[in-house]
Amino acid sequence: MPLAASESLIHVSIKAETLFTIGPLHFTNSMVGALLASAILLVASWWFLRRAAMVPNRFQTAFELPIEWLAGIVAGSTSRWRSYVALVIGLFLMILIANWLGLLPGVGTIGLVRESEGGKELVPFVRPASADLNFTLGLAIITFVVFVWWGVRLHGPLGYLKELAGEPRYMAPLMFPIHLISELSRLVSLSMRLFGNVFAGEVLLATMLALTTAVLFVLPLAFFIPAIFLGLELLFGFVQALVFALLTMAYITLAIAERQGGHAHDESAAAAGPDGAPAPAHA
């Protein structure tokens, strides 16, 4: 039966809870959060594209400002930035909406009550997608595939493996496993960092909600306690989305720079004059 959080035992499960099952598919509350975040982005994009004007109004300016700001950061990374700027901005917006969705009233606090070994538990209908390791791992896998693809694209499969082997060649049996673990560690770092921070925020908000409910009749100012932490979670949600997007950009930039380092140096030397100054442009 549906029940509010104040009427049941508030708990935060480290894994997403299953709402219902369709064959082998377990539909969880974090999947609902991911679908809602995707729907919000799609509707906002559709509405923005239909109403965008050459002379933007205040709403359009506010919508474009963070996107243009992040695009400006990516534009300063490499000359190939246009090939991956959409991925970086898309990851940022998806994670940002998924994080902020968890701060809406009812998210994580309204759901079904089920019996467990510890008594009654509340299984919320909607849970922040970023608090599920499956979601963050999926985004990290996308990033991992993209920056590895850049390395293979610019240096070829065998060249990429040679880069992992490192120099000198006789150290390859030792250096290859180290470099391979270093590459895979980025996958773990991206997924665990986002999951850990969002899950910790979810636990903190649940704790403050339970504390507020307990002291509500003793301390009227208890209403302001969750508001402070909600404000902090707004900031942390933005920071975590930005960190994930910028790390994605950094890993792709490193993949391009490492594979093209020699070529970029040769092109810069060819473009420079005899004294090191840039050669004059020709009409």
Please report the pLDDT score of residue 141 as a whole number.
Answer: 93
* Euclidean distance between CA atoms 88 and 240, whole angstroms: 13
Residue 123, H or E segment = strand 119-124
In a domain, 120, yes or no: yes
Please report the pLDDT score of residue 150 as a whole number.
Answer: 87
In a domain, 174, yes or no: yes
**Domains held by the chain: number:** 1
Please report the pLDDT score of residue 213 as a whole number.
Answer: 60
In a domain, 212, yes or no: yes
Please report the pLDDT score of residue 36 as a whole number.
Answer: 92
Q: Which two tokens stand for residue 256?
A: 């391009």
User: Which residues make Cβ contacts (< 8 Å) with residue 225, sequence separation at least 6?
Assistant: 208, 211, 212
Q: Write down the pTM of the prediction.
A: 0.78
Please report the pLDDT score of residue 37 as a whole number.
Answer: 92
Please report the pLDDT score of residue 272 as a whole number.
Answer: 40
User: What is the mean pLDDT of each successive set of 10 residues along the chain, which is 283 residues long?
Assistant: 47 76 84 91 86 75 84 86 90 92 79 70 82 90 91 82 74 78 86 86 74 58 67 88 92 73 40 41 38
Range of the domain at 32: 18-260
Please report the pLDDT score of residue 270 as a whole number.
Answer: 38
Please report the pLDDT score of residue 241 as a whole number.
Answer: 92
DSSP letter at 28 equals E
Please report the pLDDT score of residue 68 as a whole number.
Answer: 87
